[in-house]
Amino acid sequence: MDDYLETNRFNWDDRAGLHATDPTDRYRIERVLAGGSSLHALEASEIGDIADKDIVHLQCHIGLDTLSLRHLGAVSVTGLDFSPIAIASARDFARKAGTEARFVEASVYDAVAALENRTYDMVYVTWGAIHWLPDIFRWARVVADLLRPGGRLYLLDGHPQMFQYKGEGDGHLTLIHGWRTPADAPLLFEETHTYTGDERPLIHQRMYEWLHPVSDVVNALLQAGMRLDFLNEHEVLTWRHYPGMIETGEEQFEQGPGLPRIPLSFSIGATKAA
């Protein structure tokens, strides 16, 4: 299992280096450095009250959303990611923005020890996170262990059903992946370039992913002692996953007119029992 995660880390180190210097500004770097927010409309509308909250952001990548949460009123923010390049970039952005934030390099599965058993008011996880993790039940236990009683999880990610299909040029969707990926038999992908449109190639092109049914995510959280506050499915994504998708808002994409609709993303709010 460690070999899969190590392969992914090399891939993410490459991507983090590219994203931190991305000419397309997909990550809204200038906006965040000026004290603004990189959150999309969807998560901004769902996250709820974060004023005075102590937030840990898992799989924080280059830290821009982490800094944004602080800019939006969180009293303290901690970002965690296993990519040293991502963490170095996040610290650099925090310094440039003049924003107080802590960034920790660790695997999600080691988060509790890496954060010295500290607990938080909120665990924040969004866009492109849980499909990098082989065991969703273990992830949910980490989430619960990081929260104080009454603390909340906000999760927003690509819908597993959306990841099952390959989009064709005519808008047709072809079913290519099963709905549940065994931990020891991940999906293997090879990509020459990252998803931002950057023309600079990736050196480490191989990556492993796992699809987790929404029911597994919910049951994992319930088993870990969390109470479900909401489960929403959305017709929008923050990237063009299929060629037939159209941009309908700032970095908000949905299926083009006349194409069948499927859930493209989902979100969960959950609270740790007191």
Residue burial 21-48, b: 16+ Cβ < 10 Å; e: rest: ebeeebbbbeebbeeebbbbebbeebbe
Distance between CA 2 and CA 258 in Å, rounded?
44
The sign of the torsion formed by the CA atoms of 14, 20, 21, 27 equals positive
Collapsed DSSP state (helix, strand, coil) of residue 133: coil
Sequence-distant (6+) residues with CB within 8 A of 221 are: 140, 143, 144, 153, 228, 268, 270
Q: Quick one: 57 or 152, whose CB is closer to ligand SAM?
A: 57
Q: Quick one: 238 or 255, whose CB is closer to ligand SAM?
A: 238
Instruction: Specify the stretch interacting with ligand SAM by CB under 6 A; choose among 122-130, 164-172, 206-214, 266-274.
Output: 122-130
Q: Does 165 bind ligand SAM (CB under 6 A)?
A: no
Q: Does 259 bind ligand SAM (CB under 6 A)?
A: no
Q: Nearest-CA neighbor of 134 among 42, 216, 232, 233? A: 216
The nearest distance, CB 154 to ligand SAM, in angstroms, is 12
Q: Does 264 bind ligand SAM (CB under 6 A)?
A: no
The nearest distance, CB 85 to ligand SAM, in angstroms, is 9
Q: Quick one: 189 or 227, whose CB is closer to ligand SAM?
A: 189
Q: Does 132 bind ligand SAM (CB under 6 A)?
A: yes
Q: Does 12 bind ligand SAM (CB under 6 A)?
A: yes
What is the full DSSP assignment across 47-72?
S---TT-EEEEET-TTSHHHHHHHHT
Q: Quick one: 44 or 175, whose CB is closer to ligand SAM?
A: 44
Residues 43-62 that bind ligand SAM (CB under 6 A): 59-61
Q: Does 108 bind ligand SAM (CB under 6 A)?
A: yes
Q: Does 99 bind ligand SAM (CB under 6 A)?
A: no
> Total number of residues binding ligand SAM (CB under 6 A)?
19
Q: Does 83 bind ligand SAM (CB under 6 A)?
A: yes
Provide the binding-site residues for ligand SAM, judged by CB under 6 A.
5, 8, 12, 59-61, 65, 81-83, 86, 107-108, 126-129, 132-133
